[in-house]
Amino acid sequence: MNPMNLASIPSPAHGVLYLGPIPLRGYAFCIIIGVFVAVWFGNKRWIARGGQSGTVADIAVWAVPFGLVGGRLYHVITDYELYFSEGRDWVDAFKVWEGGLGIWGAIALGALGAWIGARRRGIPMPAYADAVAPGIAFAQAIGRWGNWFNQELYGRETHLPWALHITSSEGGRVPGYYHPTFLYESLWCVGVGLLVIWADRRFKLGHGRAFALYVAAYCVGRGWIEYMRVDDAHHILGLRLNDWTALLVFLLAVAYIVVSSKKRPGREAVVEPGVSDGPAKGTAAVGDAAAVEDAEAGAGTGADAAADAEGEEKAAPAEKS
């Protein structure tokens, strides 16, 4: 052991355990646990906003498969040489359990799946996205530990006390002590989730702004963490592709927050049609959005009718005189 690294993060000897003939992969477990956390926490936030229990899980049935496909597609497309170059087996592109999910593709196609599920339920997609945003950040924090099981996506060599000890020499790895970028991103994602929760309570974020804040904050962390990584990646003007992606997505998220804040301040009055119980005291009752608008229109019509009647009543004596 390097004397400079008497204290370090050990890598697991195996990323797979076998229960008889059934392989139990650490990477897959981290993804599954992350999904459960995201759905559970998203459900609590959805109910607090006036939604119905179970709605988040129903929509997640669409979002999760789409997200997994999107994450894998992004990884395979941006690292195609790992699967389609000479000497490689293209079948490996389907082996998700061996690692390789791009968060950008996962969020993009996952959002499409969520939109389909939300549309089928008559749920406003921005409100759903706001409810699940911090849970997604926590899910990412858990999922990053899958990279630890696979001994992948570490950073530059270091002699810091928390260095990650890589022991595998497969796939071009060089055993040694490296920055645990998986841990950096995991902790950053926990911070992002807490930031969204605080900002949502403090500023009553709505119409997709909580989700946009999660995206922007994640991109900031992903930018500097990506810069530390040493795994092979495509570069554009000296920067890794994922750095450019993080910068572009960050700008889009911030622009959305600014524009949305001006057009639609505050939160949605109704998040799920057909739910009768309001989310909390002092907020609008939850029900069908159209019914709320009709009620407001009816109130206005009633007020106008009362004013007309009062005017006629005052005019009648004048006519008699």
Query: Per residue in 217-226, pLDDT tens?
Result: 999 999 999 9
Q: 119 lies in a domain?
A: yes
More confident residue, 169 or 96: 169
pLDDT confidence of 317, banded at 50, 70, 90?
Answer: very low
Same-domain check for residues 318 and 210: no
Residues in the chain: 321
With contact defined as beta carbons under 8 Å apart, do 38 and 136 qualify? Answer: yes
Q: 23 lies in a domain?
A: yes
Q: 191 lies in a domain?
A: yes
Only one residue has tokens 């920067």, namely 239
pLDDT confidence of 177, banded at 50, 70, 90?
Answer: very high
Residue 5 pLDDT: 54
Q: 258 lies in a domain?
A: yes
Share of the chain above pLDDT 70, in %: 83
Same-domain check for residues 293 and 195: no
CA–CA distance, 151 with 39 (Å, rounded to integer): 28
Same-domain check for residues 307 and 256: no
Residue 14 pLDDT: 77
How many distinct structural domains can be found in the chain?
2
Query: How many angstroms from the chain centroid is the CA of residue 296?
Result: 35
Structure tokens at 132: 């699940």
Same-domain check for residues 172 and 311: no
At 259-312, the pLDDT tens digits run: 999 999 989 988 998 775 445 443 333 333 333 344 334 444 444 444 444 444
With contact defined as beta carbons under 8 Å apart, do 49 and 277 qualify? Answer: no
At 28-71, the pLDDT tens digits run: 899 999 999 999 999 999 999 999 999 999 999 999 999 999 99
DSSP state of 39: H
More confident residue, 216 or 316: 216
Give the 3-state secondary structure of residue 255: helix
Residue 56 pLDDT: 97
Q: 273 lies in a domain?
A: no
Residue 4 pLDDT: 53
- For range 15-26, the mean pLDDT: 77
At 224-236, the pLDDT tens digits run: 999 898 888 888 8
Domain extent for 184? 3-263
Residue 89 pLDDT: 84
Same-domain check for residues 222 and 77: yes
Same-domain check for residues 242 and 310: no
CB atoms within 10 A of CB 310: 10
- For range 121-146, the mean pLDDT: 96
Residue 36 pLDDT: 97
Same-domain check for residues 168 and 228: yes
Only one residue has tokens 């050990």, namely 10
- For range 116-144, the mean pLDDT: 96
Same-domain check for residues 242 and 306: no
Q: What is the dihedral of CA 284, 286, 289, 292, to 10 degrees?
A: -50
Same-domain check for residues 102 and 183: yes
Q: How many CA atoms lie within 13 A of 295 on its CB side?
A: 9
